Amino acid sequence: MKYRPEKLVIEREVAESPLVKRILATSPGIPVDWVDRVQEDTVSENGTVLEIVRFRGRFVKPCPGTRSYNCCGYQILNFGIQCNLGCTYCILQAYFPNSNLRLFANTNEMMQELEEHLLNSPKPVHRIGTGEFTDSLLLDPWTGMSEVLVPFFARQSKAVLELKTKTTNVDLLESLEHGGHTIVAWSLNPPQVIAEEESGAAPLEARLEAAQRCQEWGYRVAFHFDPLLAYPGWQQGYQEVVDRLFSAVDPGGIAWISLGTLRFMPSLKAVIQQRYPNTSILDEEFIPGLDGKLRYFRDLRVEMYAYLNELLLGIHKNLCVYLCMESDDVWRQAFGFTPAERGGLSAMLDRRALS
């Protein structure tokens, strides 16, 4: 499963950048529009257009968590935006109404900012991910971004990179010097959910095979059961995923596993209804959380988290399982402890990051 754009739109200013040169070399025959500046109101064409621009904002940002919930203290490295894997619940549909994929070609400036950030930040450990505003590996066969990032992080004593994906685009990782500082992560869902709600992404089996390959190359891996979806028979569905997961990967090489039930800004609801009229993900009842997002009722969230946690820890009791954006009450009810009792969620994950 490799993404191939049907058209490139490239700003002239970045024509000589290594990223543009590489993409042009790996995309023979794809028509190119050279422009002075990509306009924000460009007509979007369902992810078939790849825009390559000079990014003028900040590349490194804190993950947009809220103080009302336990936030993991993650940081985002932003090398591009959008994704065309077509998950019905994807939050990017609300963030970026334009569906064109966009890459930032001023990679040198990005790496310089990242280096300065790591040098000047007082944080003891940095967990940095590229999978917040796009899929970390969707475009990797074209961009070779992993060849820039993975060796860079291998040289950092207090930072790890997390590449989050729903693809199998791991080939470039095989030969890279990672030094244990890159974690490759997949989000997981039952095959039925993948078929109905993540139709452009890799099947479960393929994701797990890719994870297995990464483990063979010495990478630690991570998994995100996010979004967990409540559908009739979800218990059996997630039991099957957990069974398949541990028949494919070594639990000792898993950095962490997160759980998060479906949640979304109210404005996303109309977009989902319009784009995916047949989806059933909106059938449950939702309540607004303290962050304004709609989420399942607390009892259902606790039931799902406790169920998954028991399944996972039943396989390997030393797994680091955490909840994404949940309150102390939910942690206590689902897991029997709060992050504060273990030094805080950020510290829990920092310990795993460098272990």
Enumerate binding residues for ligand SF4 (CB under 6 A). Answer: 83, 85-87, 90, 92, 135, 166, 201
Beta carbon of residue 101, minimum distance to ligand SF4 (angstroms, whole number): 10
Rank residues 86 and 179 by Cβ distance to ligand SF4 and give the closer one. Answer: 86
Which of the 8 DSSP states describes residue 326? B
Beta carbon of residue 167, minimum distance to ligand SF4 (angstroms, whole number): 8
Rank residues 192 and 333 by Cβ distance to ligand SF4 and give the closer one. Answer: 192
Beta carbon of residue 40, minimum distance to ligand SF4 (angstroms, whole number): 20
Q: Kindly report the three-state secondary structure assignment for every residue of 201-227.
A: CCCHHHHHHHHHHHHHCCCEEEEEEEE
3-state secondary structure of 240: helix
Distance CA 322, CA 315 (A): 16
Beta carbon of residue 176, minimum distance to ligand SF4 (angstroms, whole number): 23
Q: Which two tokens stand for residue 52?
A: 């390559």
Rank residues 185 and 312 by Cβ distance to ligand SF4 and give the closer one. Answer: 185
Rank residues 8 and 138 by Cβ distance to ligand SF4 and give the closer one. Answer: 138
Distance CA 134, CA 103 (A): 10
| CB neighbour burial string for 311-340, b if at least 16 within 10 angstroms, e if fewer | bbeeeeeebbbbbbbbbeebbebbbeebbe
Beta carbon of residue 126, minimum distance to ligand SF4 (angstroms, whole number): 22
Length of the chain, in residues = 355
Q: Which two tokens stand for residue 168?
A: 């199998």
Rank residues 90 and 160 by Cβ distance to ligand SF4 and give the closer one. Answer: 90
